[in-house]
Amino acid sequence: MAKSNVDVVVVGAGFAGMYLLHELRQNGFSSRVLEAGDDVGGTWYWNRYPGARCDIATTDYQYTWDPELFEEWQWSEKHAAQPEILRYAQFVAKKHDLYSGIDFEVRVEKAAWDDAAKKWSIHTSTGETITSRHYVMATGCLSVPKDPDISGTDRFTGDVYVTGRWPHEEVDFTGKRVAVIGTGSSAIQSMPHIAAQAKELVVFQRTANFSMPAQNGPQPADRRARLKADRIAYQSEARMSPTGVPMEMATVSALSVSREEAFSMLEKSWQKGELLQIGATFSDVGINRAANEVVCDFMRSKIHEVVKDPETAETLSPRGHAYGTKRPCMDTNYFEVFNMPHVRLVDIRKKPITSITETGIDFAGESQEFDAIVYATGFDAMTGAIVNVDITGKNGITLKKKWESGPLTYLGLTTVGFPNFYMITGPGSPSVLSNMMVSIEQHVEWIRDALLDMRAKGFDTIEPMPEAEEDWRVHCTDCADITLFQDTNSWYMGANVPGKPRVLFPYIGGVGRYRRICTEALQRGFVGFEMQGNGKHQMNPGPVRLMQPDVEMMLDAMAMLELPPIEAMSPAEARGFMDASATMRAPGPDVGEIVDGTFPGAAGDLEYRIYRPASQGPHPIVVYYHGGGWVLGSHTSDDPMCRDLCERADVMIISVNYRHAPEARFPAAVDDAWEALKWVAGNARQLGGSADRIAVAGWSAGGNLAAVVAQMARDNGGPALCGQLLLTPVTDGSRQSASYDENGEGYVLTKNVMEWFWNHYASTEDRKQVKASPLLAKSLANLPPAMIVTGQFDPLRDEGNAYARALSEAGVQVKRIQARGHIHTSITMVDMLPSGKSVRAKMASGLREFFVGK
């Protein structure tokens, strides 16, 4: 007799529920696993349509937690078909005696949290009520077929099939007139099988889809060899990779090679027959529309090669959505189907279905009779299975109500108001954008480790904190914002279900990054969670380290290059290194005009570069001081950012050089910066700008100089400044703030590099002077309005913020931007890191505001 009070109730006996059951048993937790079907397998139990196969190669789509399985189970093909995957699930269930822990043909109808008892109360379709301390939804992301939303579906008297609920017995379409509605993965896989049998097949397509041949056959030799040589290393690589499948990271932009070369690189990827390979051919397919279009063109050319009738080929060619923003498909002879004489393609955007009738389908003035209709119309993805159960958390709030405007989770695993409730591969986790096996295992292990840690520390309940959930929502949005996903109507965006909120449901920051964040949350003592039990109450608001995904990707790439530390170089070597790096960056936008010249510095002529907007002048002038720790750089070293600010703000930027340390130590740079400002102010009209509309700006050490000259201008009665824009400025060299410890290593500008800069520039005594440390000024009153930008992961963050606070306290108008998830150098990386774009847009609007009404 199964127990009605257990530690954990798990819903679903797919690969997630099975592994969780195993781990719970191994660790002495009592459990009940409830499954609606009559066998294990989850998605592979339900999706039995002909041709159903896994799109991820079997070398990668298999459990790793039981190493014996690698010997005991041999896959027959590269992409296993549904019956084989189901047999694998059954094999594992038998081997580990999992069947004995699962209740089949039981649906959970209701689950409610009892806050007094600190337990879940779970009501099932059999009338049983089970209580449990913890409740886990392992219900899969694509398990609730969506309503086809076509009128008259209930009228049809012929045979009706839904790909996601296919009958267990074989379906024979021989001699039948068949309609297939939908052209997603399920339709694309099943179509060749249906076409081979049917007398007549009509395919109703709403949106054409990208698909490539699966090139099925034996397992990929290279992957097999790597697995055999070092299974652990291969698995670790998968776990830390962006998608859960080991793959080389692309470093080349699709726009940096000729079209011929791009097509030849794509052809190589195509030949591999691996789902993720095409998108991984170039570094910018997911984030740059023009780069993505190269891939789209290639994919469309392939359709035209196969499909003989050009009009049909064009109808089958996706237009209007970026490659990868709707799930790309893998097929076996899908496009070939449309060369068969008994197959017809109907584009329902041009010929809409008006109704299903008793005998067939009415569309665009035609009435066609069918013996069978196959609905391959997809799923209420990601959240459908979760909110289908009436789940009530604290204070009587249901999850359905809470998620009305979109799912809110912390780490895609938990949600505020629902203690001891977990989702496996839930919304806000990589899930459907990853190799599900890798993601499932990671979630199961996270839940297991959380339960073990709670038991060890005597906690009964775990619930995410609202701040953590909000941070996660913002981070997920940051990640989505740099991609092309939001422009496409896809089930990833909830767009296939009328009324569903439109957000990117899965987390797109990558499998490896996600794993690191989840692990950090546990290892640092339940970061972001409120824990209670045994009279103890712990709140650990964190936050976990959430970087902008592109910034982190850049750091990963830099780590792989194993670059020598700057502080181990001489200034000359460091300058050479910086110049070489600059040749590899994107140039930045075009501006109206660029003019180079010289001005008289404090000890001789120095160079400047003017960036003039294309619009009619005279323009406001921004005197700009470059970054580089007073040791590196020049008037051209921040070229892309100067172009970007000029173009966005419609102001003239004059980037001025200054003498560098150690050859010219403090206060040489200040003296030159000051001379530059005076010279620009005195020559504003000749330079084509407005003499009464001048501001200063600078990045890093240049931000330090800009802040210093703004004070000097105030103290010397001019030039009058309209504003100061300080990007991650140095403001206080006399002591180091907490951000030096927090962010002192691993974020390009390290504590050691900063010390190296200071040592070259100024003595310990000099650092205490106001012209080196503007924060130390006796008064900051009467300075021009300021915009101060600080990066979250910058050692200089706190001193930038301290300067902003001090200015504000002195009555200066200050706008502060905290660049979430950014490091010291990332905001300036124009056209390389898309996440910096919105920060620079704010900087530009800040610049424009300096001059409003002036």
Query: DSSP 3-state assignment of 824?
Result: coil
Q: Does 177 bind ligand N01 (CB under 6 A)?
A: no
How many residues touch ligand N01 under the rule CB under 6 A: the total is: 28
Q: Does 181 bind ligand N01 (CB under 6 A)?
A: yes
Side chain identity at residue 824, one-letter code: H
Q: Does 212 bind ligand N01 (CB under 6 A)?
A: no
Window 53-92: contact mask with ligand N01 (x via CB under 6 A): xxx-------------------------------------
Contact assessment for residue 528 and residue 544, using Cβ atoms and an 8 Å cutoff: yes
In 626-730 the beta strands, taken as DSSP E runs, fall at: 652-656, 689-699, 723-727
Nearer to ligand N01, 52 or 721 (CB): 52
Burial of residue 102, with CB atoms counted within 10 A of its CB: 0-12 exposed, 13-18 middle, 19 or more buried: buried
Nearer to ligand N01, 485 or 747 (CB): 485
| Segment near ligand N01 (CB under 6 A); pick from 47-55, 247-255, 336-344, 662-670 | 47-55
Nearer to ligand N01, 375 or 514 (CB): 375
For tokens 């959930």, what's the residue?
469
Token digits for 177? 């007139």
| Segment near ligand N01 (CB under 6 A); pick from 178-186, 355-363, 507-515, 747-755 | 178-186
Nearer to ligand N01, 145 or 419 (CB): 145
CA-based nearest residue to 192, from 207, 208, 203 = 203
Beta pairing, strands 366-369 & 360-363: antiparallel
| Segment near ligand N01 (CB under 6 A); pick from 184-192, 619-627, 665-673, 684-692 | 184-192
Q: Does 356 bind ligand N01 (CB under 6 A)?
A: no
Beta pairing, strands 119-124 & 108-114: antiparallel
Query: Least distance in Å: CB of 284 to ligand N01?
Result: 23
Query: Least distance in Å: CB of 79 to ligand N01?
Result: 8
| Segment near ligand N01 (CB under 6 A); pick from 99-107, 185-193, 438-446, 724-732 | 185-193
Taking the alpha carbons at both ends of the chain, their separation in whole angstroms is 83
Q: Report the distance separating Cα 507 and Cα 136, nearest Å.
A: 20
Helix 231-240, helix 511-523: angle, nearest 10: 90
Query: Least distance in Å: CB of 146 to ligand N01?
Result: 7
| Segment near ligand N01 (CB under 6 A); pick from 50-58, 383-391, 632-640, 696-704 | 50-58
Indicate which single residue of 14, 140, 182, 192 sits in contact with ligand N01 (rule: CB under 6 A).
182
CA-based nearest residue to 190, from 342, 333, 46, 345 = 333
Q: Which residues ranging from 367 to 386 are in contact with ligand N01 (CB under 6 A)?
A: 376-379
Query: Least distance in Å: CB of 383 to ligand N01?
Result: 14
What ranges in 380-428 are assigned the alpha helix state H? 384-387, 399-402
Nearer to ligand N01, 12 or 184 (CB): 184
Query: DSSP 3-state assignment of 604?
Result: strand
Token digits for 13? 């006996």
DSSP sequence for 11-73: E--SHHHHHHHHHHHHTT--EEEE-SSSSS-THHHH---TT-B-SS-TTTSS--S-TTHHHH-
- Listed in sequence order, the residues at least 6 apart from 100 whose beta carbon sits closer than 8 Å to its beta carbon are none
Q: Does 142 bind ligand N01 (CB under 6 A)?
A: yes
Q: Does 149 bind ligand N01 (CB under 6 A)?
A: yes
| Segment near ligand N01 (CB under 6 A); pick from 200-208, 406-414, 444-452, 757-765 | 200-208
What ranges in 508-548 are assigned the alpha helix state H? 511-523
Indicate which single residue of 32, 96, 300, 327 sits in contact with ligand N01 (rule: CB under 6 A).
327
Q: Which residues ranging from 628 to 667 are in contact with ligand N01 (CB under 6 A)?
A: none
| Segment near ligand N01 (CB under 6 A); pick from 177-185, 290-298, 505-513, 846-854 | 177-185
* Burial readout 483-494 (b: 16 or more C-beta within 10 A, e: otherwise): bbbeebbbbbbb
Q: Does 153 bind ligand N01 (CB under 6 A)?
A: no
Indicate which single residue of 187, 245, 391, 788 sits in contact with ligand N01 (rule: CB under 6 A).
187
Nearer to ligand N01, 53 or 643 (CB): 53
Side chain identity at residue 75, one-letter code: W
Query: Least distance in Å: CB of 438 to ligand N01?
Result: 14
Q: Does 496 bind ligand N01 (CB under 6 A)?
A: yes
Nearer to ligand N01, 143 or 750 (CB): 143
CA dist list (Å): 606 to 582, 600, 639: 21, 6, 17
- Contact positions toward ligand N01, by CB under 6 A? 53-55, 142, 148-150, 163, 181-187, 189, 204, 206-207, 327, 348, 376-379, 432, 491, 496
